[in-house]
Amino acid sequence: MRQTFLKNREKRPLQKQGHKSVTMYSGMYGGRRHGRRAGSVKTRLIVFGLLAAFLLLGSVFSAQLAPYDPDLQNLEIARAAPSAAHLLGTDRFGRDMLSRVIAGSRASIFSTLLLVAVITVIGTLIGVFCGWNGKRADAVLMRISDIFLAFPGLVFAMAVAGVLGGGLHNAIVALAAISWPKYARIARSQTLAQRESAYLKAAKLAGSSTTKIIFKHLLPNIIGPILVTSMLDIGTMMMELAGLSFLGLGAKPPTAEWGSMMSDARSLMTTAPWVAFSPGAAIFLSVMVFNLLGDTIRDYADPRSRDF
Amino acid sequence: MRKYIIQRLLQLIPVLIGITFLSFAMMRVAGSDAVTEMYGDKGAVSQEIIDARRAELGLDRPFLIQYAAWLGGMVRGDMGTSYVSGLDVAGTFAAKLPATLLLTALSILATVLISIPLGILAAVCRGGVVDYILRFISFIGNSLPNFFVALLLMHLLSIRLKLLPVLSDGISLRSALMPTMTLAIAMSSKYMRQVRAAVLEELQKDYVTGAKARGVRGRVTLWNSVIRSSMLTIITLLALSIGNLLGGTAIIESIFMWDGVGKMAVDAITMRDYPLIQAYVVWMAVIYVMVNLVTDLLYHLLDPRIRLGVIRE
């Protein structure tokens, strides 16, 4: 019985023995490359870190980098196609698009980083407070964060930004209001995991004050996963902030901001599409750089997550 | 099982009260209300008219009484009347909801059809050329804001190739095509990564190695065991992404002039039409919470280990 089975198996032509599928299913059992080598993660970290630093520097020195005044109107050259003098063309008021895209980096990149910094700090403080103290405050704050997490965030952010009356500051407030619970959750669980550990007890026995224990001993030990999360969030936050501006709930004209510039260019889609495309490309490239950096930092911090 | 459902439904009550309270408080705390917004620009309106209009809309009563009255109405299905159009909010909302649900359903369908096969393919070909290409595409898709995708599609399909109308001309499949594509591109690229990760995780379990050692073909293990088990995670993740979709539809609906609740909400926000905004926020939250509940129940039904109480969460 067993032998006939083997015989039949051998008799079958090669193609039918799953010959083709060797390449297709080979990746199933580990594949050719088991994640990347640590060296290449370091290289990626340097490359993407530098790119992100360039973007940041560019947004800081945007005023110096812009070839023209981003708000200077010149109706004679309105809606001009890209040319040598105006590399990205001009918008409906004849403003130079390249200058406006460069100037917009300040509103877009800076506000995003500010937003991420704010939610990281607030979320972490709330999370550490809850995890450290426990009791009633913990229960109340965690129920509140439950409510926020059980909620389509962008819907709420739109409503908050709209009610506050638009403007970049209000858009940041709206997005911060919906985004802190995620950080509070991570910080809380990290704090709970560390609270009873020996080094914190030792610090307490040595007479350190609670503030000192939290800021000097606990925070450095739990901040890693929180920072990785915030790095991974930069890209999403940038898109959401630009989305609010696109809806007219963020930066308002004439402020150069990528989302509102695109929204402004919607009516020019048939006659001057470049006015919409250049800020769009700017958002895309910045989000991509920050996403690449975030992924790399995660891989660097947690080698187990590599290749997932 | 029934006990579990009841327990979950009871847990929903504080969440829903929280959501309604937050959305109501938000509107009232904000400095300007519909009346100031309505007369604000004209300048010449006397204080008496403003006060009279406020009283008529009930905006002069104490905060908690307004909330109680509003919540009571909400429960009975009376969501008030729009400040701007004077129409019944529930009616307006109900008239626009089908368009949004259609768009959401089409986008989810497209996402499932695109990302589940591609995600499985990427996991199976892990480390190979196909995997790299798919991951590259999904990375690009993840970094593209959906309103940019919308404008690009509009430019390409309507203006350049003249295949589709620029803006939707009513609720038809033809005009649903571009908004669906936009939403599906963003969702699929995120979801494909998650499907790939879920399948890869399953592939690393011991039974896969065991099956290989016993000479079971890769194809058989993959289709009979791996994909069946990872479907659980895949379904859960899909349901969770519906929340993002609900927020995302607002932008896309207003770009393509798709006459759904998202566009209605954006218009209402610019007009500060509180009853409409509140109805939108509350109903989106209710839909979201319900979807999550159904996902959880489905999870319990599909996973025999949880259903039979072998594993407790």
User: Cα–Cα distances in Å, from B9 out to A177, B58, B208, B283, B296?
Assistant: 26, 32, 38, 16, 12
Cβ contacts (< 8 Å) between A5 and chain B: which residues?
none
Does the beta-carbon distance from A159 to B277 stay under 8 Å? yes
Residue A38 within a domain = no
Residue A170 within a domain = yes
Give A90's strand partners. A96
Residue A136 within a domain = yes
Q: What is the pLDDT of residues B142-161, one digit of tens each?
A: 899 989 999 999 888 888 88
Cβ contacts (< 8 Å) between A287 and chain B: which residues?
143-145
B170: left (phi over 0), alpha (psi -120 to 50) or beta: left
**Rg of chain A over CA atoms, in angstroms?**
26
Does the beta-carbon distance from B31 to A28 stay under 8 Å? no
Residue A6 within a domain = no
Q: Tell me the pLDDT band of B5, cut-offs 50, 70 and 90.
A: confident
The distance from CA B305 to its chain's CA centroid, rounded to whole angstroms, is 30
pLDDT at A305: 60
Residue A41 within a domain = no
**Rg of chain B over CA atoms, in angstroms?**
24
Does the beta-carbon distance from B248 to A154 stay under 8 Å? yes
* Residue A63: both structure tokens together: 């005023």
pLDDT at B173: 76
**B307 or B133, greater pLDDT:** B133
Task: Name the maximum alpha-carbon separation found in chain A.
Answer: 91
Pairwise CA distance, residues A91 & A253, whole Å: 13
Does the beta-carbon distance from B128 to A26 stay under 8 Å? yes
* Residue B242: both structure tokens together: 């519906």
**What is the amino acid identity at position A307?**
D
Cβ contacts (< 8 Å) between A37 and chain B: which residues?
none
Does the beta-carbon distance from A242 to B145 stay under 8 Å? yes
Q: Which residues of B163-187 are buried (b: 16+ CB within 10 A; e: fewer)?
A: ebbbebeeeeeebbbbbbbbbbbbb
Of B299, B284, B205, the residue nearest B16 (C-alpha): B284
Q: Would you say residue B245 has pLDDT above 90?
A: no
Pairwise CA distance, residues A210 & A191, whole Å: 13
Cβ contacts (< 8 Å) between A156 and chain B: which residues?
22-23, 281, 285
Task: Give the other-Cβ count within 10 Å of B18's Cβ.
Answer: 18
Among B147, B201, B272, the residue to mutate for chain A (most A Cβ within 10 A) = B147
Residue A20 within a domain = no
Domain count of the fold of chain A? 1
Cβ contacts (< 8 Å) between B144 and chain A: which residues?
284, 287
Residue A35 within a domain = no
Of B123, B16, B115, B135, the residue nearest B74 (C-alpha): B16
Among B93, B139, B142, B148, the residue to mutate for chain A (most A Cβ within 10 A) = B148
Range of the domain at A118: 54-68+84-306
* Residue A267: both structure tokens together: 């009516």
Provide the shortest C-alpha distance from residue B145 to chain A (in Å).
6
pLDDT per residue of chain A (308 residues) written in tens, 0 to 9: 344 444 444 444 444 444 444 445 655 655 444 444 555 888 888 999 999 999 888 888 887 777 778 777 777 777 777 777 777 777 777 788 888 888 888 888 988 999 999 999 999 999 999 988 878 888 888 888 877 877 777 888 888 888 777 788 888 988 998 899 999 999 999 998 888 888 988 988 998 888 888 888 899 988 988 999 999 899 999 999 999 899 888 887 778 889 888 888 888 877 788 888 899 999 999 999 999 999 889 888 876 665 44
Angle at B24 between CA B18 and CA B25, to 5 degrees: 85
ipTM of model: 0.82
CATH of the domain at A216: 1.10.3720.10
pLDDT at B4: 77
Q: What is the pLDDT of residues A270-280, one digit of tens each?
A: 778 888 889 99
Residue A192 within a domain = yes
Task: Name the maximum alpha-carbon separation found in chain B.
Answer: 87
Cβ contacts (< 8 Å) between B155 and chain A: which residues?
269, 273, 276-277
Pairwise CA distance, residues A135 & A13, whole Å: 71
Q: What is the pLDDT of residues B51-107, one digit of tens each?
A: 777 676 666 677 778 788 878 887 777 777 777 777 888 888 888 888 888 998 899
Does the beta-carbon distance from A247 to B246 stay under 8 Å? no
pLDDT above 70 covers a percentage of chain B that reads: 86
